[in-house]
Amino acid sequence: MQLLSLLVTGQKWHNKLMYKSTTWKLSLTVGAFILALCLVPRIVFAQSAVSEDTLQLYRDQISAYRDSERTFEVAKEQYFKLQTLASLEQAVSGTRNALLARTKVLTTYLTILRTELYAQHGINLTLKDDALERLDTQLAYLKTHEDAVLIANDRAAIATVVTDFSLKQLFIEDAVYRSRLLIEVGKVQTVNDKARTLLADIKKAHEAEKATSLVTAKRERAYTETSTHIEATEAALLELLSQKYTVEKEFLKGQYTQQSKSINEPYVSAQKAIGFLEELLSL
């Protein structure tokens, strides 16, 4: 499941809470948000600037969250079946534990994402600073939210913190998807920048060599093709960030999916440039 659909599911769960006054209906919000994040590290953190210990902490927290969800589901079913004060207390406790587990894993995930974004080269500094600030804002909110959950000891208090979180979900989503896109752009831009530098170095080395007219012709063709693809990559990335990426509106799943697909074009151009560079190195 993707992040937005999971959040929508969570909102439906919240609505059930408000209408039926059953706090534990909120488990869908917890599960929704976390399951989406489980898929992200394989994409964003394939070659991570984050320590393995931190990534392992993230995996452990995912596992702990799943355990808390299972415990919560058992407590919820027991309450629906027994309708006793003791089962109510267990259900409230289970909900609180699941909310805490959610907050911990979200905090770790946003921290990892921030580290990746900060370390990634090839990103417009203004856009990077804006995205980092958004992540910092959400990390600060998650700390406040965790503190509120810790002191929520009854159904009404739990409902209050869940309602507050439901109002902040889109801001968290915005910070996440915005950062992920910029990291992807930065990776392609970094490759393109290195390709440009390598092309210049190869040309300089070739100028000091004697070559046959056939080799020279092949080199000139490869120079032209490489330059064409480097410039095409640069133009596509510039268009994506200048015309399709905005800091004025929320950047949610739909925008991310669309712009992430748009990165395919400059990515392919960069790969073609690399292919011609490899050819030049053999000439």
Confidence of residue 79 (pLDDT cuts 50, 70, 90): confident
- Domain endpoint, select from 183, 201, 228: 183
Residue 105 near residue 34, CB atoms below 8 Å? yes
- Same-domain status, 126 and 238: no
Question: Distance between CA 131 and CA 126 in Å, rounded?
Answer: 9
Report the chain's mean pLDDT, rounded to a whole number: 83
Give the per-residue SS3 of the chain.
CCHHHHHHHHHHHHHHHHHHCCHHHHHHHHHHHHHHHHCCHHHHCCCCCCCHHHHHHHHHHHHHHHHHHHHHHHHHHHHHHHCCHHHHHHHHHHHHHHHHHHHHHHHHHHHHHHHHHHHCCCCCHHHHHHHHHHHHHHHHHHHHHHHHHHCCCCHHHHHHHHHHHHHHHHHHHHHHHHHHHHHHHHHHHHHHHHHHHHHHHHHHHHHCCCCCHHHHHHHHHHHHHHHHHHHHHHHHHHHHHHHHCCCCCCCCHHHHHHHHHHCHHHHHHHHHHHHHHHHHHHC
Alpha-carbon span 120 to 182, nearest angstrom? 9
Domain check: are 113 and 173 in the same one?
yes
Q: Are residues 16 and 146 in the same domain?
A: yes
Mean pLDDT on 195-218: 93
Ramachandran angles phi, psi of 48, nearest 5°: -90, 145
Q: Which two tokens stand for residue 100?
A: 């805490």
Spatial separation of the C-alpha atoms in residues 41 and 25, rounded to whole Å: 28
- Domain final residue pick, 183, 212, 239: 183
Identify the domain containing residue 225 by its residue range.
186-282
Residue 173 and residue 38 in one domain: yes
Ranking 64-68, 136-140, 220-224 by mean pLDDT, the lowest is: 64-68
In this prediction, residue 4 carries a pLDDT of 34
173 and 192: one domain?
no
143 shares its domain with 205: no
Asked if residue 150 and residue 23 are part of one domain, the reply reads yes
Domain closes at, from 183, 213, 240 = 183
One domain, residues 53 and 80: yes
- For residue 36, what pLDDT is reported? 54
Q: Are residues 125 and 255 in the same domain?
A: no
Does residue 212 register a pLDDT over 70? Answer: yes
- Interval 158-206: pLDDT, tens: 989 989 998 998 999 999 999 999 999 999 999 999 999 999 999 999 9
Indicate the number of domains in the chain. Answer: 2
Residue with tokens 């268009």: 239
* Residues 141 and 204 reside in one and the same domain: no
- For residues 124 and 214, membership in a common domain is answered with no
The answer to whether residues 170 and 260 belong to one domain is no
